[in-house]
């Protein structure tokens, strides 16, 4: 009887041993799966960072291109009247239209009374010498009617 019990215990022990080995192999497999998942997550995070960097670079290039297009458009535009040496701080405080009206009132008082001055468009011309160095830029005003331009030229000649 003891031999039977010993054999039975030995068989149970072998079964437990094989079950334990199966559990160990499953734990190793699960560990490998976890490692693979961590690698995938790391790869996804890296690609996300690269995508963000590429998008930031693209946005920076777009802004730069828009600025260059605006400078080209400002260069191509031909205005009627050019006002020089208005600092950008003064421009922001008063506005270009009010600055233009003050200059007209100061230099051509008759023109202000005889003619209704409407400004169609106001823009700043780009710096031609060095765009990276801040300096006063010319302001270009565009008046809507041709006879207004001729009248302002005549008033300017009379003033001189």
Q: How many Cβ atoms from other residues are within 10 Å of residue 139's Cβ?
A: 20
Q: Residues 98, 151: one domain?
A: yes
Q: Residues 100, 129: one domain?
A: yes
Residue with the two structure tokens 């200059």: 103
Q: Residues 69, 102: one domain?
A: no
Phi and psi angles of residue 95, each rounded to the nearest 5 degrees, phi first: 95, 150
Domain with 84 in it: what CATH number? 3.30.70
Q: Residues 97, 145: one domain?
A: yes
Domain that holds residue 68: 1-76
What is the pLDDT, as a whole number, of residue 75? Answer: 64
Q: Residues 68, 96: one domain?
A: no
Q: Residues 155, 136: one domain?
A: yes
Distance of CA 88 to the CA centre of its chain: 22
What is the pLDDT, as a whole number, of residue 146? Answer: 46
Q: Residues 15, 68: one domain?
A: yes
Q: Residues 88, 53: one domain?
A: no
Written as tens digits, the pLDDT of the chain (160 aa) is: 788 888 889 999 999 999 999 999 999 999 999 999 999 999 999 999 999 999 999 999 999 998 888 877 766 655 555 566 566 666 566 666 677 777 777 777 776 666 566 665 666 655 555 556 555 555 555 555 545 555 556 655 665 5
Q: Residues 65, 120: one domain?
A: no
Q: Which of 42, 76, 110 finishes a domain?
A: 76
Contact status, residue 99 vs residue 91, Cβ threshold 8 Å? yes
Whole-angstrom Cα Rg for the chain: 40
What is the pLDDT, as a whole number, of residue 107? Answer: 76
Q: Residues 114, 45: one domain?
A: no
Phi and psi angles of residue 117, each rounded to the nearest 5 degrees, phi first: -95, 120
What is the pLDDT, as a whole number, of residue 103? Answer: 75
Q: Residues 118, 58: one domain?
A: no
Domain count, the chain: 2
> Which pTM was predicted?
0.39
């Amino acid at each position: 009887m003891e031999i039977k019990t010993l054999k039975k215990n030995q068989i149970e022990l072998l079964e437990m041993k094989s079950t334990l080995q199966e559990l160990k192999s499953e734990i190793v497999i699960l560990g490998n799966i976890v490692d693979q998942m961590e690698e995938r997550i790391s790869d996804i995070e890296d690609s996300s960072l690269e995508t963000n960097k590429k998008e930031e670079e693209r946005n920076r290039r777009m802004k730069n291109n828009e600025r260059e297009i605006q400078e080209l458009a400002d260069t191509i535009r031909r205005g009627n009247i050019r006002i020089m040496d208005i600092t950008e701080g003064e421009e922001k405080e008063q506005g270009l239209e009010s600055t233009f009206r003050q200059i007209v009132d100061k230099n051509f008082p008759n023109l202000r009374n005889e003619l209704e001055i409407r400004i169609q468009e106001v823009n700043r011309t780009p710096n031609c010498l060095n765009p990276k160095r801040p300096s006063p830029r010319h302001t270009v005003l565009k008046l809507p009617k041709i006879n207004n331009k001729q009248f302002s030229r005549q008033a300017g000649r009379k003033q001189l």
